Amino acid sequence: MSECIFCKIVAGEVPSSNVYEDDQVLAFRDINPEAPVHILAIPKKHIAGLKDVSPEDRALIGHIMTVLKEIARDEGIEDSGYRVLTNCGPDSGQIVDHLHFHLLGGRQLGKIG
C-alpha cells in the first residue's frame, strides 16, 4: 500500500522509534503518546483493520498479542498493568487504515465503559 504510513514505516521509508521487530511484526513508540508507555504494534502485512482479518491471519494476531506481552514486560509495566486496544473504523477514532494495537501503560488509566 504505497500511501499507507505504516507500510512506509515497515519499508524503512519513514523513521520510527522501534522497540521490537521480527519477520511478521513491527512495534514502535507512538509519536503522540497518551501515556508514559504508548507503543503501536502492527503486522508487517497490510491489513486495513480488524474487520479485514481473515482466518489465515489467526496465528499472526496471536503472535502480535504475545509480542505485546513481551514488550509490556520489557517496558516494566507487566505487573502494574497495561491496556491493549485497537480502533475499528472511523467512528472508533481509527486514523490509519492499517491494523494496529496500542499498548498503553506507565500510569493509572481511566476506566472504559
Number of neighbours of residue 95 by Cβ within 10 angstroms: 9
Residue 21 three-state SS: strand
Q: Is 100 a catalytic residue?
A: yes
| Residue whose C-alpha is closest to residue 99's, from 42, 30, 59 | 42
d(CA 39, CA 31): 9
DSSP 20: E
Catalytic residue among 38, 46, 63, 100: 100
| Residue whose C-alpha is closest to residue 33's, from 111, 106, 92 | 106
The catalytic residue positions are 100
